[in-house]
Amino acid sequence: MTAPKPLRVFHTISGLSGGGLERWLSDIIRLSDPSEVEHRVFVFYPDLGGSPVYYDELVSRGVVQARGSGLWFRLQTGFAALGRTRKSTALQRRLSFVSRGAACLLALPRALRDFKDFRPDLIHAHSGPDILLGILLKARFRRPLVHTVPCLFSQMQAEGLAWLPDFYRRSHHKIDVFSTGEAKTELMGIGVPAEKILYDLGGVDLDESRRTGAARDEAREMILGRLNLPADALLALSAGRLHSSKGHAHAIDVLARLVDELPQLHLLILGEGAERGALERQARQLGVEDRVHLLGFIRDPQAIFEAADVFLRTTILEPENLTFYEAMAAGLPVVGFDTGWPDLIDKVGHGKLVAIQDVASFARAVREIMALPDRGRALGQAGRAYAVDRLSVRSSVDLLTDTYKRLATMNGSSGDHAACG
């Protein structure tokens, strides 16, 4: 008996820089069973929003076609960059939507060629403007559509995507499944049926976390040696792209408030982005430039997490993200701002919550944890236990694969790879 052909999933994504969406896409492709799912990625503009850190990896896996070029491609990129700019007035938000739509239409011929060549069973759109392309492809080829909601609605506002929640409200009937984490409540609030929401989005590679955790002392020694720091250094870690919503400036302020009491304290910042220069200037102005280490984007950061003593969750909009989960898996005690959402720090008890943007209270909480005999490692172990039980990225990928199969079966396209005429 002939084995069934793997499902073919056509992914669309704006860029391939070092954000959580891009990492989630990489994990889906890396961890899904190739005998069950075959992937193709259509990327609008690989380096939109930063260095295309996942581009070479996905090219090497044979799932990404060559990037566009020439005047037409630069025109698409210009419209997309304009659409990413933060908008405050109704007119600016409308222009943002128009710019995104124009970029989508300009990319459509390239996407159609790639789609017809791959002949997929379903479509997975991974970020804001991608949903426009995903809906166009679904209408043309009648394939099921999965959409990864990029962030909370408040974050959409900060990212120049203020039009997106209203678009979801008007067009959710055109989307078969919304994949999300914290945005489930918001989606239901604008009328998206609960049965269309897949409440799971990424997680931690626990196998890698276990391997790195078993060699924690070696990881710490390596990081201290790389940064030329003494063996008794205390390492606070802040992670995420260098954007104002991630709050790295607050982390630097916390460090400056603590250096007199904790002279061995250093701050590691993982991530890359447009605010690097501003953060470097802030560190100089506060006199802590020799204690702030901007490490950039690191593809496999588990060793950094294992080497750290405390995780500073300074995000001001989102209570959870992948770096927060990695900190839990590494057994780090966490201090975080209370963003007003249900919070795992409260539920699990692996750290301290403080009022939003209250840097003085944040610094006090870090000081209290560092004053504990074990520097908060017992607190952190509660987070590690929760991560092992609930935050496996492999489980998330398996759940998504089951969703792909269900949609393809309902659509009658499972393994058929029907011609895209």
Q: Where are the alpha helices (DSSP H) in 228-321?
A: 248-258, 276-285, 302-307
What is the C-alpha separation between 70 and 347, in angstroms, rounded? Answer: 52
In contact, 111 and 133? CB cutoff 8 Å: yes
For residue 122, is pLDDT > 70?
yes
pLDDT at 420 over 80: no
> CATH code for 206-390?
3.40.50.2000
Q: Report domain extents, the chain.
A: 7-203+393-411, 206-390
Work out the average pLDDT over 113-122: 95
- pLDDT at residue 128 above 80? no
How far apart are the C-alpha atoms of 57 and 55, rounded to whole Å? 5
In the predicted model, is pLDDT for residue 46 greater than 80? no
Question: Above 80 in pLDDT, residue 390?
Answer: yes
pLDDT beyond 90 at 196: yes
pLDDT greater at residue 8 or residue 2: 8
For residue 125, what are the contacts with CB-CB under 8 A and spacing of at least 6?
11, 12, 13, 131, 133, 134, 145, 146, 147, 148
Q: Decide whether 7-203+393-411 matches 206-390 in CATH topology.
A: yes
For residue 190, what are its two tokens? 């604008």
Cα distance between residue 215 and residue 387, in whole Å: 18
- Span 7-203+393-411 CATH architecture: 3-Layer(aba) Sandwich (3.40)
37-43 and 122-125 strand pairing: unpaired
pLDDT confidence of 231, banded at 50, 70, 90?
A: very high
Interatomic CA distance for residues 137 and 147, integer angstroms = 13
Q: For 131-141, how does the pLDDT look when each residue is reduced to its tens digit (9 = 90+)? A: 888 999 999 99
| Beta-bridge partner residues of 392 | 204
* pLDDT value at residue 280: 97
DSSP assignments along 182-228, one per residue: TTHHHHHHTT--GGGEEE----B-HHHHHHHHHTHHHHHHHHHHHHT
Query: Rounded distance, CA 223 to CA 221, Å?
Result: 6
Amino acid 248: pLDDT:
97
Closest alpha carbon to 321 in 303, 337, 304: 337
Whether 239 shows a pLDDT value over 50: the answer reads yes
- What does the pLDDT read at residue 99? 62
Q: How confident is the model at residue 213 (pLDDT cuts 50, 70, 90)?
A: low
Closest CA to 268 of 299, 243, 244, 234: 234
Residue 97 reports pLDDT greater than 80? no
Q: For the residues 42-63, what does the mean pLDDT come to?
A: 78
Do the bridges between strand 234-239 and strand 7-13 make them parallel or antiparallel, or are there none, so unpaired? Answer: unpaired
Q: Give the pLDDT score at 72.
A: 46
Cα distances (Å, whole numbers) of residue 190 to 88, 107, 167, 375, 393 = 21, 29, 10, 44, 28
Residue, of 415 and 171, whose pLDDT is higher: 171
pLDDT for position 11: 96
Question: Looking at residues 379-384, what average pLDDT do you find?
Answer: 95
Tell whether the model's pLDDT for residue 93 goes beyond 80.
Answer: no
- Rounded CA separation 260/285 (Å): 16
pLDDT digits (tens, 9 = 90+) for 254-285: 999 999 999 999 999 999 888 999 999 999 99
Range with the poorest average pLDDT among 16-30, 91-105, 351-365: 91-105
Q: Are strands 234-239 and 265-270 parallel, antiparallel or unpaired?
A: parallel
Cα–Cα distance measured from residue 341 to residue 46, given in angstroms and rounded to the nearest whole number: 33
Q: How far is the CA of 241 from the CAs of 19, 235, 295, 391, in angstroms?
A: 7, 19, 11, 21
Q: What pLDDT digit, counting tens, does each position of 281-319 carry?
A: 999 999 999 999 999 988 888 889 999 999 999 999 888
The H or E element spanning position 38 is: strand 37-43
Tokens 């996905």 correspond to 58
CA distances from 1 to 4, 33, 417 (A): 9, 20, 19
